[in-house]
Structure 1
Amino acid sequence: MSFPSRRFKDWVVALAYAEKWLILGTIIGIASSIVVIVFFELLVRMVAFSSSLLGVQLSSPTTDLSIIFAETSKKLMIPLLVLAGVAASAPIVYRIAPEAEGGGTEAAVFAYHRRAALIPARVPLVKLVASVLTIGTGTSAGVEGPSVHMGAGVGSVLARRLGLSRRDRNIAFVSGIAAALAAVFRAPLGSTFFATEVLYKRDIEAHAFMPAFISSLVAYAVSAPYFKFVEPLPRIDVPPENIYSVGGLLTLIGLGFFIAPFAYFFIELILGSDRFFRRIVRRLGLPMEAKPLLGALLAIPIILAFPIVAGSGKKAIVLALTGQVKDYLPFQHIMPLVIIFILAAIAKALATSLMVGSGASGGVFAPSLLAGAFLGWSYYLLLGSHAPLPGHVYAYVGMAAFFAAAGKVPLAASIIVGEMGKNYYLIAPTLAAAYIARELTGEKTVYPPQLKERPII
């Protein structure tokens, strides 16, 4: 007997829109959250193993090596660890599922627009294993891109098994993205906006919003106990009236102008790295799986100079939002802190573009947030005594503005950042900064498969 049964398929397909997606959205939410939990559990174990090789004893489980790289005394182990992870993951990707190379989100967007929302069943599995090996050994890349790709794969596979129409397969695909991201970020509303917004530069996939939101809520409910109901980001303790003062709003809006050129630079780095590594392996006659190794060789000196830019950066983001990250920044005895924050942002952008752009498995979402937080602090230091708000507020808004500009997702970035730390009153001013940064960077994006808007049918 096939699974699911023919009777179940016929019954689901015959249901009205609301009933159908209440059921399918729930199934996708459960399945996607389980995949994310497995991914995180394996990644935690990989990071623990890497930490033991570096002689660092973990006080609690983590998926990020940034602080560990900064604290270890075995600095010579860092290049070996990064190269080993990339060397182990690259053959798995390029020999089994080349679609799993790189960040993950752009591959999902490509599959949605160019491959009729079809992702082979092997791709999510390969993406999971490869991402554990790369991120778990210190590659500068995030967990969100792989999670998005895996969630999209869950929705695509389920849609094929049920024999859904192309329109319903699209909805299942988007719902899988939303569910996976909600499990990672514990931000179901923002994740729904991301899943529907990331497909286009200036539009959203509106017909998939309700099913995606159902999947997000279910994924959040299933995954929250695993993450012990802990929010990913700290809540800021600043009176809303300070943020909504004239000075507060004007400086937050100004942050959008400050962030834009750095976000544009990051986009160019990502796109340029992809072109560079494809060209170099062709000229040298090397196999495609050599690309991530070349990227790692170029990224390692950056990681050694700024260890805080290693890994996904999730722990570093928390430290940036609590003002403790400066304790892990180098060169403070020879240059001003404002310059160091800018250099740290550039280092994170460069290391991530070299790794993800060369095909190493990992995303750009969390690295973008960290780069944006660094730039938020530098902006605060430039304001000096004229800053009406604490530095960590600018770091929060800087995260959203940077990624909104890079990924063309201002709505999603603003809501996710506010939702992750339950800082809801930050969403409106963040949205203003995010839209300004997005507009100033034009149509360029770290996700080239995005269409400008929905096709007219």
Structure 2
Amino acid sequence: MLPRHQTPARLPRVVLSSVVLGILVGAVVAGFEELTVRILLDTLHDRPLWEQALAPAVGLVVAAAILRWFGPRASTSTSDEYIRAFHERHGRIPLRQLPAKLLAGAASIGSGGALGLEGPSIYAGANIGQNLQDRMHRYFRRDETKTLLTAGAAAGVAAIFQAPATGVIFALESPYRDDLARRALLPSLFAAASSYLTFVAILGTEPVFPRLGGTQFDLGIMDLLGGALVGIAAGLGGRLFAGLVRWTKTSVTRAPLHWRLASAGATLAGLAVVADAVFDDPVTLGPGGRAVEWLTDGNRGLGLIVLLLALRVCATLATLAGGGTGGLFIPLAVQGVLMGAAVGHLVGEPQTSLYPTLGLAAFLGAGYRAPIAAVMFVAESTGSTPYVVPALIAAAMSQLVAGNSSVASYQRSVRLGHLERRFTLPISSALVTDVFTVPPDATLTEFVYVHVLGRRERAVAVVDGGHFRGMCSMESLADLERSLWDTTTVGDVMRTDLPTGSASWTLRDAVAAMEAADIDILPIVDPSGIFVGLVAADDILKLDEILDETGG
């Protein structure tokens, strides 16, 4: 009989579950956008300026109240929760927190907070996907525990941006700064496609940035050089913005909530008033679509573009500091559009849409360390494929300049293999501290009868006054006559040339030391020579089996 996970019916069921997941996520995201944009945000835009200026403060208070009263132990993070759950061995995204997160996101963004709808959408997709897989776990192998989690995140991006390819690539690319999560590719494709179709069936189709891009474009060498220049600028800008985001998340959010709400609300109100006075529209409110519309409505001066970029950055940071629930994907994209337009002015190309589009790809790729998804987003969101090649160059350059910076809190550098993950575990995961030791003045007869015959121990640590002295085993007695066991002590035959390990080591360090000395048991001591315990090769193998059985 075939094992359950190898039955011929497994793949169709996985595909079917991915399609069902996509339909569910598409419907949820469509409802979220309808509430946030078409009911709340569009209504807000028609209100007097004073109401628009005060709305973000009200929205942040409402969001905080929703999370506190209806989302038990729920944080404000959204897409970060997907990355956290992806990397943690038993990372959970509780289903009961989903309604509160979506309502908090609607309150934060629908009231004018400068965050993106993709954050709650990714959270919703990953949440629904993980909980759906929990109910269908028998159709998935142990090494596929994150399959529908990833597919759900892809479905969330695909729906909110109406960009299924971007959704798939972003879900696979965002968990790592320099790698891809490849196991969930096929389920992500089906989930993203079905989510996109469900979303557009409910709300229709409309490009995210319809005014960017171009239909006719002759690629020249100067355009490629321009892409590299935009990439350098975006890499520096993305690095700075990622640092500001980390500082806001780790430092500012430690302040009392009432202080943060008041400060963030006042800041967002002031930014809206300033923006309305300068740009005749409070373009600092909302995810940033109105800022892009302002940019593309006419020939804008360099000074105004730079000012708007600074105001948008401040608005996003203030919303984060105030506990707003939302994503950073669209804010990064909008900042990239503005930065690209500024670079276009500097090189004497203020009219073309090329540089804003390249800035979108480069800044987004640098901020999230997702260059492939950023370039695909350019193609899908602007409807313009001629800009893809220079966008690739811009995104690549931004990656080089940005270094390891990222706005995502839980991203890892690369995907580790099965054994590599085990070897990065601390030595304490296989360390046994409750072991019997033998003093150096014990006779060999005592050693044999108590430890070898009595406890079936192959090797025993020799400890005197808590300090490690050496190791004694049956091999130490091989050349000694039996008649001498009563008069010979353990200290006379123990081995003192064997290596010792430190409690700060990883399993990789322990295995390397045991292989170099050709031993199966490694004594662990502290810096002063005090004996801590033993690590055995058999225990490392048992740990590996346990982690396999539990999906670790």
Relative to the length of structure 2, the TM-score reads 0.69
CA spacing shift, 1:197–1:312, aligned 2, 3 Å: same
Structure 1 residue 196 corresponds to structure 2 residue 135: no
Equivalent residue, structure 2, for 1:34: 27
Q: Is the 8 A contact 1:414 1:434 kept in 2?
A: yes
Q: Is the 8 A contact 1:376 1:391 kept in 2?
A: no
Shift of 1:142: 0.9
Structure 1 residue 441 corresponds to structure 2 residue 402: yes
Shift of 1:98: 6.4
Equivalent residue, structure 2, for 1:236: 213
Structure 1 residue 340 corresponds to structure 2 residue 315: no
Structure 2 Cα separation of the partners of residues 94 and 129 of structure 1: 12
Deviations 1:233-259 (A, max 9, x none): 326335332xx2111111122110122
CA spacing shift, 1:356–1:13, aligned 2, 3 Å: farther
CA spacing shift, 1:99–1:173, aligned 2, 3 Å: farther
Equivalent residue, structure 2, for 1:359: 323
Structure 2 Cα separation of the partners of residues 126 and 289 of structure 1: 20
CA spacing shift, 1:379–1:174, aligned 2, 3 Å: same
Q: Is the 8 A contact 2:54 2:269 kept in 1?
A: no
Which of the residues 365, 381, 397 maps onto 2:358? 397
> Which one has the bigger strand percentage?
2
Q: Percent identity?
A: 23
Shift of 1:369: 1.1
Structure 1 Cα separation of the partners of residues 73 and 266 of structure 2: 23
Shift of 1:78: 2.8
The amino acid that maps onto 1:27 is V
The amino acid that maps onto 1:23 is L
Structure 1 residue 429 corresponds to structure 2 residue 355: no
Shift of 1:279: 2.9
Structure 1 residue 146 corresponds to structure 2 residue 120: yes
Structure 2 Cα separation of the partners of residues 206 and 442 of structure 1: 23
Equivalent residue, structure 2, for 1:126: 100
Q: Is the 8 A contact 1:197 1:412 kept in 2?
A: yes
Relative to the length of structure 1, the TM-score reads 0.83
Shift of 1:48: 4.2
Equivalent residue, structure 2, for 1:284: none
Structure 1 residue 252 corresponds to structure 2 residue 227: yes
Deviations 1:405-427 (A, max 9, x none): 01100000110121122212322
Structure 2 Cα separation of the partners of residues 114 and 411 of structure 1: 25
CA spacing shift, 1:155–1:324, aligned 2, 3 Å: same
Deviations 1:367-425 (A, max 9, x none): 111111111111111111xx3x8431111110111111011000001101211222123
Equivalent residue, structure 1, for 2:285: 310
Shift of 1:200: 0.5
Structure 2 Cα separation of the partners of residues 160 and 293 of structure 1: 41
The amino acid that maps onto 1:445 is S
CA spacing shift, 1:111–1:304, aligned 2, 3 Å: farther
Which is worse superposed, 288-297 or 432-441? 288-297
Structure 1 Cα separation of the partners of residues 20 and 87 of structure 2: 24
Structure 1 Cα separation of the partners of residues 223 and 86 of structure 2: 40
Structure 1 residue 76 corresponds to structure 2 residue 67: no
Structure 1 residue 161 corresponds to structure 2 residue 135: yes
> Which one has the bigger helix percentage?
1
Structure 2 Cα separation of the partners of residues 13 and 35 of structure 1: 33
Q: Is the 8 A contact 1:356 1:363 kept in 2?
A: no
* Superposition pairs of residues 199-210 of structure 1, within 5 angstroms: 199-210=175-186
Which is worse superposed, 394-403 or 256-265? 256-265
CA spacing shift, 1:29–1:325, aligned 2, 3 Å: farther
Structure 1 residue 324 corresponds to structure 2 residue 297: yes
Q: Is the 8 A contact 1:141 1:367 kept in 2?
A: yes
CA spacing shift, 1:355–1:263, aligned 2, 3 Å: same
**Structure (1 or 2) with the larger CA radius of gyration:** 2
Q: Is the 8 A contact 1:102 1:357 kept in 2?
A: no
CA spacing shift, 1:194–1:98, aligned 2, 3 Å: farther
Which of the residues 10, 15, 23 maps onto 1:22? 15
Q: Is the 8 A contact 1:192 1:212 kept in 2?
A: yes
Give the secondary-structure state (helix, strand or coil) at the position aligned to 1:425: coil
* Superposition pairs of residues 110-125 of structure 1, within 5 angstroms: 110-114=84-88, 116-125=90-99
The answer for unaligned runs of 5 or more in structure 1 is: 1-9, 55-73, 282-287, 328-336
The amino acid that maps onto 1:439 is L
Which of the residues 345, 348, 353 maps onto 1:381? 345
Give the secondary-structure state (helix, strand or coil) at the position aligned to 2:206: coil
CA spacing shift, 1:117–1:26, aligned 2, 3 Å: farther
Structure 1 Cα separation of the partners of residues 184 and 10 of structure 2: 11
Q: Is the 8 A contact 1:94 1:289 kept in 2?
A: no
The amino acid that maps onto 1:46 is L
Shift of 1:455: 2.2
Structure 1 Cα separation of the partners of residues 408 and 108 of structure 2: 21
Deviations 1:284-324 (A, max 9, x none): xxxx476444333333322322221210113433554xx21
Q: Is the 8 A contact 1:87 1:293 kept in 2?
A: no
Shift of 1:127: 1.4
Equivalent residue, structure 1, for 2:195: 219
The amino acid that maps onto 1:424 is T
Which is worse superposed, 155-164 or 253-262? 155-164
User: What is the total number of aligned residue pairs between the two structures?
Assistant: 406
Deviations 1:107-147 (A, max 9, x none): 22112212634210122211111111111111111101111
Shift of 1:430: 0.7
Structure 1 Cα separation of the partners of residues 293 and 157 of structure 2: 18
The answer for unaligned runs of 5 or more in structure 2 is: 276-281, 419-552
Structure 2 Cα separation of the partners of residues 102 and 325 of structure 1: 37
Higher relative contact order (CA 8 A, sep 6+): 1
Shift of 1:94: 3.2
Which is worse superposed, 306-315 or 372-381? 306-315
Give the secondary-structure state (helix, strand or coil) at the position aligned to 2:353: helix
The amino acid that maps onto 2:26 is S
Shift of 1:80: 2.3
Q: Is the 8 A contact 2:234 2:339 kept in 1?
A: yes
CA spacing shift, 1:201–1:17, aligned 2, 3 Å: farther
Equivalent residue, structure 2, for 1:57: none
CA spacing shift, 1:25–1:445, aligned 2, 3 Å: same
Which of the residues 40, 60, 63 maps onto 1:89? 63
